[in-house]
């Protein structure tokens, strides 16, 4: 799901050849080497897809803190892919931009397309497959207002995903299938109540919440204060 009003800013300027990062504005340490930053990796992918018409110099302003669970690396990747394509005539399709950003994301977080595709397409998306990347745009829920809490705890996507067990109880699988389908339906129908009533993650939350001290107390406080859901 893409969130309005918060994100990275990526500026792209033409250069003779190659991809360089001339500046990163960030409160957090971010790799400046073009081979290690997802924005530049995605840019390299897009240039290759365009037949290498020239080079790109990037300036990146990080809006999203890395390791916050907000898809920081995917935001940079999507920004790099979009900016580079725009700079060289806007010739690629959204699908091609998602592919490029997802390949970049893969190099730091593993092959996941949820964050990259939402960043490119906007709204909520359903990732049907990652190899090849198959995405369905679901739409937005107008009434939905999100409050994002970012505690000062760094949990990398790669690490968070590694905490999940290899096997899931059948009954949890069935519940997860029902809830995920209901969330997708809620976005397709712009149905706030259905979304809120389906906001139950029986697979990741019980395990990943252990990475965030005080999670249960914060959840309780949010619900007590009037939040319709917390996840």
Q: Which stretch binds a copy of itself (CB under 8 A): 32-40, 61-69, 95-103, 191-199?
A: 191-199
Using the minimum distance from each CB to a copy of itself, give the nearer residue, 64 or 186: 186
> 14, 111, 158, 189: which one contacts a copy of itself (CB under 8 A)?
189
User: Do the Cβ atoms of 58 and 12 come closer than 8 Å?
Assistant: yes
Nearest to 148 by CA among 1, 9, 26, 37: 1
Q: Which stretch binds a copy of itself (CB under 8 A): 55-63, 75-83, 93-101, 184-192?
A: 184-192
Catalytic residue chosen out of the listed positions 45, 105, 106, 116: 105
How far is it, in rounded angstroms, from Cα 220 to Cα 75? 30
Please report which helix (H) or strand (E) contains residue 9, including its range.
strand 9-15
> Shortest approach of a copy of itself to residue 215 CB, angstroms?
21
What is the DSSP track for 92-153? S-HHHHHHHHHHHHHHHH-S--HHHHHHHH-SEEEEEEETTEEEEEEE--TT--------S-
Number of residues that bind a copy of itself (CB under 8 A): 32
Nearest to 123 by CA among 183, 62, 61, 38: 183
Near a copy of itself in 157-176, by CB under 8 A: 164-170, 172-173, 176
Using the minimum distance from each CB to a copy of itself, give the nearer residue, 164 or 223: 164
User: Do the Cβ atoms of 100 and 81 come closer than 8 Å?
Assistant: yes
How far is it, in rounded angstroms, from Cα 175 to Cα 198? 10
Neighbours of 167 (CB within 10 A): 6
> Shortest approach of a copy of itself to residue 98 CB, angstroms?
16
Using the minimum distance from each CB to a copy of itself, give the nearer residue, 177 or 221: 177
Near a copy of itself in 113-132, by CB under 8 A: 126-129
Using the minimum distance from each CB to a copy of itself, give the nearer residue, 48 or 128: 128
The yes-or-no answer on residue 49 being catalytic is no
What is the DSSP track for 22-33? EEEE-SS----S
The yes-or-no answer on residue 166 being catalytic is no
Is 25 a binding residue for a copy of itself by CB under 8 A? The answer is no
* Positions marked active-site: 105, 157
Residues at the contact surface with a copy of itself, assessed by CB under 8 A:
126-129, 134, 136, 138, 164-170, 172-173, 176-185, 188-189, 194, 197-198, 203
């Amino acid at each position: 799901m893409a969130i309005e009003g918060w994100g990275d800013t990526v500026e792209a300027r033409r250069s003779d050849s190659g991809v360089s990062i001339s500046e990163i504005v960030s409160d957090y340490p971010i790799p400046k080497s073009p081979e290690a930053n997802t924005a530049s990796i995605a840019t390299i992918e897009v240039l290759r897809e365009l037949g290498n018409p020239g080079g790109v110099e990037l300036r990146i302003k990080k809006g999203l803190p890395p390791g916050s669970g907000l898809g920081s690396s995917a935001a940079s990747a999507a920004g790099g892919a979009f900016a580079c394509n725009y700079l060289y005539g806007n010739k690629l399709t959204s699908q091609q931009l998602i592919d490029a950003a997802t390949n970049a994301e893969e190099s730091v977080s593993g092959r996941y397309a949820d964050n990259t595709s939402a960043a490119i397409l906007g709204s909520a998306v359903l990732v049907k497959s990652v190899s090849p990347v198959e995405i369905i745009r679901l739409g937005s829920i107008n009434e939905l207002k999100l409050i994002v809490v970012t505690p000062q705890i760094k949990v990398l996507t790669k690490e968070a995903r590694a905490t999940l067990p290899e096997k899931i109880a059948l009954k949890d699988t069935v519940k997860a299938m029902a809830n995920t389908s209901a969330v997708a339906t809620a976005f397709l129908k712009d149905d706030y109540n259905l979304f809120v009533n389906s906001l139950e993650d029986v697979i990741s939350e019980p395990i990943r919440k252990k990475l965030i001290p005080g999670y249960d107390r914060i959840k309780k406080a949010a619900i007590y204060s009037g939040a319709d859901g917390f996840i």
